[in-house]
Structures are given as C-alpha cells and as structure tokens.
Amino acid sequence: MPPPEQEHYISPAQLRVGLYIHLDLSWLEHPFSFNSFKIKSEDQIRTLRSLKLGRIRYDPGRSDTPPYPHAPAAAAADTSASLRAEATADPAVAAKQQSIERLQRMREKVARTEKAFLKAAGVMRNINRNLMTRPRESLAEAGGLVEQMVQAFLESPDVTLQVMGERCGGEEVYFHALNVSILAMMLARDMGFDAQEGRQLGLGGLLHDIGLMQVPDRIRMKTGPLTQAEENLRRMHCEYGVEMGHRLGLPPEVLAVIGQHHECVDGTGYPQGLRGEAISPMARVVALVNHYDKLCNPTDVGKALTPHEALSQMFAQARSRFDARALQVMIHHLGVYPPGTLVRLSNEALALVSSVNPRRPLRPWVVVYDPQVPKEEAIMLDLEHEPEVNISKAIRPSQLHAEIYGYLSPRRRITYYFEPGDAGGPATA
C-alpha cells in the first residue's frame, strides 16, 4: 500500500497567484464557490487573508508557482482592521451569498420535482396494471399526467428537466414510457405543437409501447441478442399496440405514434419502412426520444451509454434516421451534457449534471463532489454564475473511484422529471 501523500501548508502571507489551495472550512464559512481552487488574482489573496486562517493547505503538483518563502512587505503591512474591511467590501462575499440563495431555491425546486415524480410513478404503475382491465380510469389518469406536462412545457418557456437521484427509489421506479413522454413534450413547443396536439403527443409517448404487453417476457426482457424469430415477434409490438389502441378508443394521432414510433425518416425503420413526411410529425418526435432513452437505458444496463455519449452518437452516426429539426431541438434542450452526465470541470472538480439551463445549455446546474461537504449537503452550482469554471469533458461512471461514485450517486438508469406548475398533480392509488 503506497504511503499517504504528504500535505503541504503555508501561511496566508505566503499566498501568491498561481497556487492551488484547499480550504479546510465548511463551504458556508468562506466566500468562494469551491473549497479547492487555483488563485487567479490579488483580490482572491486579500479575501483569503481576511479569513484569518493560521495556515492554508496547498497542492504543489497543481500549482503554477511555489509560494512566497516569507511574507512580502505588502502582506506584512496589512492590519486586522483593513482585512475585515476588505472582506466586507469584497464582491466575492456578496457573490457567495447570492450563490447560497440560489442553492436554497434549487434544493426546494428539486424537492418539489422529486415529490411530483413519485406521484407520477404511482400513476404509471396503475396504468401498467389496469390499462386493459380498467381502461377508462387508466386513460383518465394518463390524461391528468399529460395535462400537467402540457401546462409545464407549453405554457412555461423556462421549464427544465431534472435528473432524478437515488432518493427517488432507485432503479425500480424507472419508466421508459414516462421518460419518452416527458422528453417528447420537452420538444413540443419548438416543434410547433399547440396544446391539443401536445396532449396527443404526450399520451402517444405514454402508450407507445403498449403492444409489448403481448410480447412474451422471455423476449421482452432478454438481455442477450435476440434470434431472428424473436426479433420478428418483438417488432410485432407496433401492430399489437395499434390493435389495442383501437379497442381503447384512442384518437388517430395517438394510434399513429404507437404504430410508427420505430419508423425512421430514411426508410430504415419498421414495421412499414416509411420515409420522411409519410411518418406523422408526432411519431417522428417519439421515435427520436425513444431511441435516445433506449441508448441510455437498455434492458442490459451494462451496455448503457451516458447521456452525453447517447446524444453524441445519435448526432454523429445516426442523424439521417431522425427528423433533423427534432434532433436539433433536443440537443438545444438537453445541452451537450444532458442531465445525468458525469463531468470533469475546468478546475479539475468532478460533478454530475443535474439540470440544463435552457438559456445557456453549456452552463448547466451541477452537483459537485467535495469530500469536505457531507453528501446530503452536496454543493449544487449554477455554472451560468461561475464564469471562470467550464465543463472540460464528460466521463464514464467506471472512471470514478468508489468513494466519488457513491457521493455523486449516478443512477444506472437515467430518469427525468420536471417541476410541476400550480395545477394539481395526478392522483395516485
């Protein structure tokens, strides 16, 4: 076992621009956005000295310069009174207070979203159990859930998706149909759908796979490669779904989504090999988001792509299969780093993208790994307000040490939900 790395400490008087430091304080006890960072300005040094720490830990390997060997004259001349005045006047203090307030608002929003998601999960369980035996009740519940999506995505231009964390019950509350419906509704406004069309799109997303009820579990849940006969039977779920939809009295627009959600605009899809505008506009949207969710959440979770990988692969290798406008809109809304993506920031911090900023998709909200901050109080940062920090790259969960993986807790199945509006949420059993 290798010996622990030696820790290096200096006095505040030895600080200089270019040093990479670690503050052994609570995140709330200092005005900086991170506990660890590289000093970039004399203003930061003055603020650090105002904290009156006896010593400060620094990392020689990540620093651009060694510390001062002794206190420079200017630093030695600072008085406690002037330091306190600088700390009070320092813009970093005001910025940190604003960051704390944003964090509190975001935590409240996450709590509301997680509560709404758990209610929606209850609705999905009821639909899955009762759709064919109690169709009127099940469709009413589905309609209530879709109405909430219509109000959120078609009437609130700034609504954002939030990736659900482990507190929402783990992998067993993942519902592919709910993900597909939410992702489709996210695109509805920019794709030109009105409220009534949005209701049809949302219901089509929720019910697009109902034909799988008639496919044997041994095929539907198989994680290995399907034989040709098994693949042919599985593909029948589109036709089975349309037949079931007719019996349920679903409108033609919803039936088109159910029957065409595996069609591709280049004609390579199934069951009819339709091309371009021969596929209904709603089915083209559902086909796109259905493919994305299947890449992120395959039956065999060992083959799952990260959200960033899935979106990148669709754009680089398969964009001819999808409606070009819908793909463009989805990339805009999800960002280059969709919620659920693990990332390394430009300051070397590791983080999980929790939600996208629709105004600036490259600067989402992130949950930051910091071993000095308890997991339940993990720092969430809005990168729109952190101009000096960018996302450097996406990383795979397997690249994380177990401690970091456990802290950020990326779900094996990516599940999205949105903050509900003022309307009452869907009823649960």
pLDDT at 310: 95
* pLDDT at 96 exceeding the cut of 70: yes
> In angstroms, rounded to a whole number, what is the distance separating the alpha carbons of residues 273 and 15?
67
Of the candidates 57, 65, 62, the one whose C-alpha atom is nearest the C-alpha of residue 9 is 57
Provide the b/e sequence for 77-87 (b: ≥16 CB within 10 Å).
ebeeeebeebb
pTM: 0.84
Give the residue, 397 or 170, on which the prediction is more confident.
Answer: 397
> In angstroms, rounded to a whole number, what is the distance separating the alpha carbons of residues 213 and 165?
28
Contact 149, 193 (CB under 8 A): no
Q: Per-residue confidence at 71, pLDDT binned at 50, 70, 90?
A: low
CA distances to 8, 33, 178, 187 from 266, rounded to whole Å, are 60, 48, 27, 21
Q: Per-residue confidence at 98, pLDDT binned at 50, 70, 90?
A: confident
pLDDT at 81: 42
pLDDT at 151: 92
Q: What angle do CA 117, 203, 421 make, to 5 degrees?
A: 40
Q: Per-residue confidence at 99, pLDDT binned at 50, 70, 90?
A: confident
pLDDT at 1: 39
Contact 160, 419 (CB under 8 A): yes
pLDDT at 56: 93
pLDDT at 173: 65
Architecture of the domain defined by 96-418? Orthogonal Bundle (1.10)
pLDDT in tens, 123-172: 999 999 999 999 999 999 999 999 999 999 998 767 788 998 766 766 66
Of the candidates 225, 172, 183, 187, the one whose C-alpha atom is nearest the C-alpha of residue 208 is 183
pLDDT in tens, 254-313: 999 999 999 999 999 999 999 999 999 999 999 999 999 999 999 888 889 999 999 999
pLDDT at 169: 62
* pLDDT at 75 exceeding the cut of 50: no
pLDDT in tens, 175-229: 999 999 999 999 999 999 999 999 999 999 999 999 999 999 999 988 889 999 9
pLDDT at 87: 46
**Most confident region among 241-245, 330-334, 420-424 by mean pLDDT:** 241-245
Give the residue, 409 or 366, on which the prediction is more confident.
Answer: 366
pLDDT in tens, 341-383: 999 999 889 999 999 887 888 899 999 999 888 888 899 999 9
Where do you find CATH 1.10.3210.10 in the chain? 96-418
> In angstroms, rounded to a whole number, what is the distance separating the alpha carbons of residues 354 and 380?
8
pLDDT at 172: 63
Q: Per-residue confidence at 174, pLDDT binned at 50, 70, 90?
A: confident
Sign of the Cα torsion 127, 132, 134, 135 reads: positive
Element (H, E) at 9: strand 8-10
Tell me how far the alpha carbon of residue 133 is from its chain's centroid. Answer: 35
> In angstroms, rounded to a whole number, what is the distance separating the alpha carbons of residues 315 and 193?
23
Is 411 exposed, middle or buried (CB count within 10 Å of its CB: 0-12, 13-18, 19+)? Answer: buried
pLDDT in tens, 41-65: 998 899 899 888 889 999 999 899 9
Contact 396, 380 (CB under 8 A): no
